[in-house]
Amino acid sequence: MMLQMQDLAGTTPPRSDPWPISRRIGLGLLALLAAFALLGPVLVTADPARQDLSASLAPIGSDFLLGADHYGRSMLARLAYGARLSFGMALLTMLSAAAPGLLLGVLAAWRGGVTERALVALSDIVLALPGLLLVLLLLAFAPGHFLPLYLGLSLSLWVEFFRVARTTTARLLVEPRIEASRLLGFGTFYILRHQVLPEIAPLLLTLASFAMGTAILAISTLSAISVGLQPPTPELGSMIVELLPYYDEAPLTVLMPGILIFLLVLGLQLTARGGTVR
Amino acid sequence: MTRLLLGRLVQAALVALVVGGLCFALVRVLPGDAAFRIAADRYGPDALTAQAAEAVRQELGLDRPWPELLLRWFGELAQGHLGNSLVSGEPVSEELASQLGPSLWLAASALVLSLLIGLPLGLVSGLRAGSGLDRLALIGAVALRALPPFVLGLVLMLVFSIRLEWLPPAGYGTWREMALPSLTLALGLAAVSSRVARDAVAAVGATTYYRFARLKGLPERAVLVRHGLRNAAIPVITYLGLQAVYLIEGVVVVESLFAYPGIGHALVHDVIARDVPMVQGAALVMGLMFVLLNLGVDLLCRLLDPRLGAGR
Amino acid sequence: MLFVPRPRRAVLRGLIGLAGLLALAPAAGAAEGRSAPERALTVVGPWEVGGLDPASNGHAFTRLQVAETLVGVDAAGAPAPGLATGWTVAPDGLTWHFLLRSGVRFHDGSPLTAGIAAESLRRARANVGPLSRVPIATISAEDGAVVVVLQRPFALLPAFLANHTTIILAPASYEPSGRVVRIIGTGPYCAVTVAPPLRIELERFEDWWGGRPAIARARYLAVGQGETRALMAESGEADVVVSILPVSLARLRRNPKLAVQTVTPPRTRLLKLNAGSPLFSDPRARRALSLALDRTGLAKVLLRNPGLGADQLFPPAVSGWHAEGLPPLTRDLAQARILLAQAGWRPGTDGILERDGRRFAATLRTYSAWPELPPLAAAIQAQAREVGIDLAVSIGNTSDIPARHRDGSLDLGLVSRSFAMIPDPLGTMLQDFGLDGGDWGAMNWSSAETASLLDRLAVLADPAEREPLQRRLAEILQAELPVIPVTWAELAVVANRRVAGVRADPLERSYGLAEMRWGTP
């Protein structure tokens, strides 16, 4: 039986296009959000902490461009400052969790043996201490401040990156093409950079974008159990919790911080994956 | 195999020591007068006075030096006894048992629900990578993940309890009360696991061996089942083991919102009240559960891919 | 990889099957009361169920009418007969006789005797609680009456015996070491199951001295989140819900299936000031801070009831203590600034006041046990800033306030103070405004006149005699402001229309389960 060209249809890998539409949309979103977070506080003149109880829950388009919260504080100002704080700190947390996680994970998979076992044991012990407990305990040292919050979050998030990096790399390294590269004499760094990294990058980028969302949400979780940041600090996660009781009267105002977080994670996801494979 | 089990056993012992000691150290060093904290949790804000705090201090011997207390805890642990709660006076093991049970059911059902929702969705999205369904699933996943579990729970309550009147909003007793809390958690978990599954399936779908299977002439379903699923399953299962981070935080909030008597909201009370034996006991039990969970994940991965077990 | 070996496949299948089973299995734990014919009355409240110790959880058993106290409270808040039908005091004011009601039985069938009641009271006194503050010499029993001998005259004794820590329990409730292992009380309902932290199951007690209750079974569920409680009322899961967030009230009032009642309990949110601190030692500074507060705005926006702005310490509902015609606490920013200037404070470059190089900056401490306190604190922070006072808000734990009172590190605390721990507010006033101040009251402030007024009130029983003294007390506190009242409180009870006879108790001593009955649905 002769193999026809059409039999091969559907079996070739899709051609990778580094700049598909979805990636461009994602980058566009991120650029807009970054502009809002960085320039917003500079351009918006309203004070995010100034209260005006007579203007409680003012609707969008009244004296306040984006309405006011229950204290009569400008939502636009609070969103701008909140975006700067939340996004900035979420980025910092994610980087401080992803970098060691990735490096140690690849190291563990590459070296194997004692190194791997020691690192896995370490990660398991860190994982064994429940993340929330760790954050609660650290927060109890300095209630209402940022540093213990993000320290605790990073500590509980890095294991995620470590484990996924390790297992994916381990699986990759037993593939025949890695063996072939090794036999051909290519060095460690070459293999890691050109063959391993492109494979694990998409998975890790997906995780990273969700991790940033998780960091912001962890703060709203803590605010929900009243262990959050000191008032009147504007922060997206705690704004959602503060405004929640008013969902019946001003649903749009309640949704606004949530929409910003949604746009951030969506932008990151689209940029990371681009919607297509490889 | 036995090496793996032995290694995990050693790890369990190590976890017990480190977690227990760390918790003890952290809670002891925390600012705030422990006697006042415990009295606050016991007698409530209206009845809290300095006399009550003094009485608590005397009763529990909170002035004793910390090495003595730590050693005593380890000694009790070796005998299998976790001590008594400082707030209620009941044995820690009993309190934990009554709190852990509901939480375990909640977590387990949330995990299973999330697999039932997330995996098929991820599978279909991965096979049709780049299509409209894939993009829609992405937006849905991001939307679910961008919502705090608190808000999601409230929305579900509004929809299922008020509008549709299908399920009770809160409480604990039968599967009906557990449905909304576990759905809240499951949706958040499914959001991520569906994306991870989608990535894994899409990656596998583009490999050489997958293409070769198709070229061989195998029907699509056989290709998927024999070559696709097992390889795609590994990163998904690995990630499952890590969902615990989201799960623990989610469990705390969801239990508070749905008035579910589990370990999540008890833990918050215990940390705030500086109930050291309870915090130590809870951290210890959770730590050991993680070890078990990791063991399960590792065994499952080895089952799926024998190459991981063989020496490299 | 062309075929999967059989054993592995079997294991995989088994695991998937197990997962499916887990998904469908019903939750472990008691699923009680679904098969019984009559529906159990479901009461939902915010407070959690602790253990069985009356000192820490007695309120659970008085509210659900499982156990009772010697003295009750009438509609006006005055002491009324409970398990004691009446009481007399000897002319010297030291010996009190509480005549016990006859024919009262405990849930286990044993009769209530004076000896048992006296023993219960002795245990309560030895435990932590308000009774330890009463100058009691001895408690004994004598011919169907409990005899209490005091060390010095104290007119409030009956009120103290209405407090939930003094519930009378049967001897079988205690184990030899003195710990309570069962709650066997005299009330209309027996506690069948006490499942901390969230549930109590009750069954009616047929032989209650007050008559057979109409509703056979009831249960209490603790639901900490206010939004969830409102949703439980709306969905019909709960028959009676106690304590609703102000924001949800409007929505619930519009619901035709629900009946909403609101009462004003004797509870005030106030700012507890450290009058010994250089910031607040000058009464003008304290008055200025009070003048900066927009109480009506706070009450309107955060409590959804503008009438709750506290223009004096006690709300109008607390007769005898609310002083008519007292100059109210208002908002006057100009006057506040003048007073602060008179006290020597000048605005600095950032708008915050300064004096001798020291900024007017303090930490306002509060706690989240009451959900309205953190939002109030955030609003007060903003209002104080308008007159140049910089407050940093720290939301901690309830115990921070008394702990910091003791070690002197408190600047300001926003607290929710209940004056109904003892039905007579004097009980709490004695605790808060004596010469040494109080953990929840005055700090580093004392007034000889206040102390003497309190001493005289403690021995007077006649309301007419007490009235002028109480008024004078209110005047002093209004002028000196060792604590600044911010808002009063409102208690909302929402009942489904299928339950009749629901009454909201402003003192929150009892939920009145025995008076409830199933009405027309």
What chain A holds in terms of domains, given with CATH numbers, is 84-265 (1.10.3720.10)
Helices (H) and strands (E) in chain B, counts: 14, 0
What amino acid occupies position B212?
A: F
Cβ contacts of C298 on chain A, cutoff 8 Å: 53
Q: Is B139 in Cβ contact with A14 (below 8 Å)?
A: no
Amino acid at C333: L
Nearest Cα neighbor of B89 from B68, B59, B112, B64 is B59
Name the helix (H) or strand (E) containing B99: helix B92-127
Q: Min CA distance, B68 vs chain A (Å)?
A: 22
Nearest CA to CA, how far is B99 from chain C (Å)? 9
Out of B40, B161, B265, whose CB is closest to C231?
Answer: B161
Q: Using pLDDT thresholds of 50, 70 and 90, give the confidence band for residue B286.
A: confident
Pairing of strands C145-150, C412-418: unpaired
Of A128, A218, A237, the CB nearest to B19: A128
Q: Distance of CA B125 to CAs A14, B48, B141, B194, Å? A: 16, 57, 12, 8
Give the rounded percent of residues in chain B with a pLDDT score beyond 70.
Answer: 94
Contacts of C255 in chain B (CB under 8 A): none
Interchain pair C381, A230: CB under 8 A? no
User: Beta strand C71-73 with C79-81: parallel, antiparallel or unpaired?
Assistant: antiparallel
**The dihedral sign for the CA sequence B10, B14, B20, B23:** negative
**What tokens were used for A171?**
């699986």
Residue C263: C-alpha distances to residues C65, C152, C490 (Å): 20, 36, 6
Residue of B nearest to A268 (CA): B142
In this predicted structure, what is the pLDDT of residue A4? 54
Q: Does residue C425 have a cis bond before it (omega within 30 degrees)? A: no
pLDDT of residue C184: 93
Token reading at C76: 């006006």
Please tell me the predicted confidence (pLDDT) of residue C32.
40
- In DSSP terms, which residues pair with C86 in a beta bridge? C99
- CA closest to A260 among chain B residues: B146
Mean pLDDT within B287-308: 73
Q: Please list every residue in chain A whose beta carbon sits closer than 8 Å to the beta carbon of residue B148.
A: 217, 220-221, 224, 237, 240-241
Q: Which residues from chain C sit within 8 angstroms of residue B50, using beta carbons? A: 402, 405-406, 439
Least CB–CB distance from A231: residue in C227, C294, C377: C377
Which partners does chain B have (≥3 C-beta pairs < 8 Å)?
Answer: A, C
CA distance C2 to chain B (A): 8
Which of B32, B227, B261 faces C197 most closely, judged by CB atoms? B261
With contact defined as 3+ CB pairs under 8 Å, the chains touching A are B, C
Q: Answer with the residue of higher pLDDT: A172 or C274.
A: C274
Tokens of B235: 């990163």
- Residue A3: which pLDDT band, with cuts at 50, 70 and 90? low
Which residues in chain B have their CB less than 8 angstroms from residue A237's CB? 148
What is the model's pLDDT at position C368? Answer: 83
Cα distance from N-terminal residue to C-terminal residue, chain A: 33
- Which of A50, A53, A245 lies closest to C227 in CB terms? A245
- For chain A positions 149-178, those within 8 Å of chain C (CB to CB) are none
How much is the average pLDDT of A217-225?
Answer: 74
Map residue C122 onto helix, strand or coil.
helix
pLDDT classification of B9: cutoffs 50, 70, 90: confident
Distance from A13 to chain B by nearest Cα, in Å?
Answer: 6
- Across-strand partners of C517? C500
Chains A–B, number of C-beta pairs less than 8 Å apart:
199
Beta-carbon neighbour count of residue C497 at 10 Å? 15
Partner residue opposite C301 with nearest CB, options A70, A226, A244: A70
**DSSP 8-state class, residue B226:** I
Q: Is the Cα torsion angle C159, C165, C167, C168 positive or negative in sign?
A: negative
Task: Over range A163-171, report the average pLDDT.
Answer: 83
Structure token pair of residue A242: 């503060």
CA dist C400 → A139, B50, C413 (Å): 16, 11, 9
- Could B195 and A220 be called an inter-chain contact, meaning their C-beta atoms sit closer than 8 Å? no
Distance from CA of B241 to the nearest CA of C (A): 15
Inspect the interface and report whether the beta carbons of B42 and C403 lie closer than 8 Å. Answer: no
Measure the CA–CA gap between B29 and B35, rounded to whole angstroms: 14
**What does the alpha-carbon distance between residue A170 and residue A119 come to, in Å, rounded to a whole number?**
14
Residue B249 and residue B264: Cα distance in Å, rounded? 8
Provide the greatest CA pair distance for chain A: 84
Residue B129 pLDDT greater than 70, yes or no: yes
Q: Which residues of C touch A (CB under 8 A)?
A: 226-227, 245, 247-248, 251, 294, 297-298, 300-302, 368, 374-375, 377-379, 381-383, 392-396
Closest partner residue to A266 (CB to CB) among B139, B245, B265 is B139
Q: Which residues contact C3 (CB under 8 A, 6 or more apart)?
A: B226
Under 8 Å between Cβ of B264 and B251: yes
Decide if B283 contacts B20 (C-beta within 8 A): yes
C-alpha of C160 from chain center: 15
Contact call for B157 and C228, based on CB within 8 A:
yes
Q: Do B203 and A277 touch (CB under 8 A)?
A: yes
Cα(C388)–Cα(C391) distance, rounded to whole angstroms? 10
Rounded to two decimals, the ipTM of the complex is: 0.80
* CB distance C272 to C352 below 8 Å: no
Contacts of B300 in chain C (CB under 8 A): 15
C234 CA: distance to closest CA in chain B (Å): 7
List the one residue out of C373, C235, C237 whose CA is nearest residue C302. Answer: C373
3-class DSSP assignment, residue C362: strand
Contacts of C400 in chain B (CB under 8 A): 32, 36
CB contacts < 8 A, B to C, total: 163
Structure token pair of residue C105: 């039985």
Contacts (Cβ under 8 Å, ≥6 apart) of C332: C291
Q: Strand pairing of C517-518 and C412-418?
A: unpaired
In angstroms, the CA B59 to CA B35 distance is 10
Q: For all residues of chain B together, what is the average pLDDT?
A: 79
Contact B266 C197 (CB under 8 A): yes
Residue C428's alpha-carbon distances to A127, B49, C432, C438, in angstroms, are 49, 12, 6, 10
- State whether C379 and A51 contact (CB < 8 Å): yes
Say what the pLDDT of residue B309 is. Answer: 55
CB B149 within 8 A of CB B190: no
Angstrom distance (rounded) from CA B118 to CA B248: 19
In total, the C-beta contacts within 8 angstroms joining chain A to chain C are 57
Q: How does pLDDT run along chain C (521 residues), one tens digit per residue?
A: 444 445 555 555 655 555 545 444 444 333 443 444 678 999 999 998 888 888 888 999 999 999 999 999 988 888 999 999 999 999 998 999 999 999 999 999 999 999 999 999 999 998 888 888 899 999 999 988 999 999 999 998 999 999 999 999 999 999 888 888 899 999 999 999 998 888 999 999 999 998 899 999 999 999 988 889 999 999 888 999 999 999 899 899 999 999 999 999 999 999 999 999 999 999 999 999 999 999 999 999 999 999 999 999 999 988 889 988 889 999 999 999 999 999 999 998 888 999 988 999 999 999 888 889 999 999 999 999 999 999 999 888 888 898 899 889 999 999 999 998 888 899 899 989 988 888 899 999 989 999 999 999 998 888 899 999 999 999 999 999 999 999 999 999 999 999 999 999 989 899 999 999 998 64
- Chain C positions touching A56 (Cβ under 8 A) are 301
Chosen for mutation from C48, C49, C399 (greatest number of chain B CBs closer than 10 Å) is C399
Q: Which amino acid is at B224?
A: L
pLDDT exceeds 70 at position B101: yes
CA–CA dist B127, B220 (Å, integer): 11
B160 near B180, Cβ under 8 Å? yes
Could you tell me if A71 lies within 8 Å of chain C, comparing CB atoms? yes
Is the separation of the CB atoms in B150 and A221 below 8 Å?
yes
pLDDT at position A262 is 86
- What is the pLDDT at residue C488? 95
Torsion region of C266: left, alpha or beta (phi above 0 gives left; psi -120 to 50 gives alpha): beta
